[in-house]
Amino acid sequence: MNRFCFLLVTNFPKISEVCVYFAANMKNNIYMTMKKNLWYAVLAVCALSACGSKKSERQPMSGNPVFPGWYADPEGIVYDQTYWIYPTYSDVYEKQTHFDCFSSKDLVNWEKHESILDTVAVKWAKQAMWAPSVIRKDNKYYLFFGANDVHEGEVGGIGVAVSDRPKGPYRDLIGKPLINEIVNGAQPIDQYVFHDEDGTYYMYYGGWGHCNMVRLNDDFTGIVLFADGSLYKEVTPENYTESPFMFKRDGKYYFMWSEGGWGGPDYSVAYAIADSPFGPFQRINKVLQQDSEIATSAGHHSVIHAPGSDNYYIVYHRRPLGDDGRDHRVTCIDKMTFDKDGFIEPIRITNEGVAAETIAAIKK
């Protein structure tokens, strides 16, 4: 028995105390019982060691929020082998005069790129620079944005800037708003540019409970007529508030939007599925909302699809528990999954975020 303990201690130092105990207290009449108990102790230690080993091998997680600071309305995108997030700087309107962006190779470690576009570069923009939407075309990087919280008769609305690099700096492309007017009751904010497989670029936008879609021209300097001769089409779904988003999966168009008040507990994300980019978009369900144990007001999102995989991530903002600051919003990422019929499953918001995932590893 003592030799057995010596071998165990030599090979498994963590159980030395167990062996010392049994060696000191062993009596002939309880030898068999203690031998059996020793084996139980060895198995328990091995199990604990295995659990510790598995824990140490776990992938690093992004954590939520994914980067520090007050940021909202995040748009996520993949350029080559890098993930990018372009958010709104969350503050009072008068201080919302610039955009920062963030890049990552693995969804966990994020690098900040400061002031990629500001009101110095956009002469007509004075404040309330909101909700970037980004896309690459012909080796140029375009950033669409809202500015000035425009109302009827004012200058502002949706602008577009361009750069040679995703991290900027960006410059104003046309020197004026791309869309200034209030059409179909939709405030020109919260634009999303969608590139369809036939090469067409559509832009969905709108606040105040109305959503329009337009078709962009080839160089993004204007909008062009649809086949039926219209310039704007209203595509507002049920319960729509703002922040439309579109992606395509397995031949279906997934249209998403935010519901509720942007500062309230009912702020959330719902979606529809259609066979056409024009809809109709019949509301299916709410898929993202607050969790009273995690965070409040979860909404204004975008979706990142990791190339070469069926991995989808929802990028959104939310408010920390117990913090009632109007502009205290943070950017988070969680996994988005689908059931066997292609419907989006309810998304659980987390503090852990998502596991590290490099695009290079997916493509191998």
What are the backbone angles phi and psi of residue 250, rounded to the nearest 5°? Answer: 50, 40
Question: How many CA atoms within 13 Å lie on the side-chain side of 361?
Answer: 7
Q: Looking at 73, 75, 118, 149, which residue is catalytic? A: 73
DSSP state of 61: B
Q: What is the sign, positive or negative, of the torsion defined by CA atoms of 277, 279, 285, 289?
A: positive
CA distance 332 to 110: 12
Specify whether the backbone of 36 is left (phi greater than 0), alpha (psi in -120 to 50) or beta: alpha
Whether 73 is catalytic is: yes
Taking each continuous run of H as one helix and of E as one strand, the counts in the chain are 4, 20
Listed in sequence order, the residues at least 6 apart from 8 whose beta carbon sits closer than 8 Å to its beta carbon are: 15, 19, 42
- Write the CB contacts of 198 (distance below 8 Å, at least 6 apart in sequence): none
Catalytic choice (75, 149, 242, 259):
242
Report the catalytic residues: 73, 242
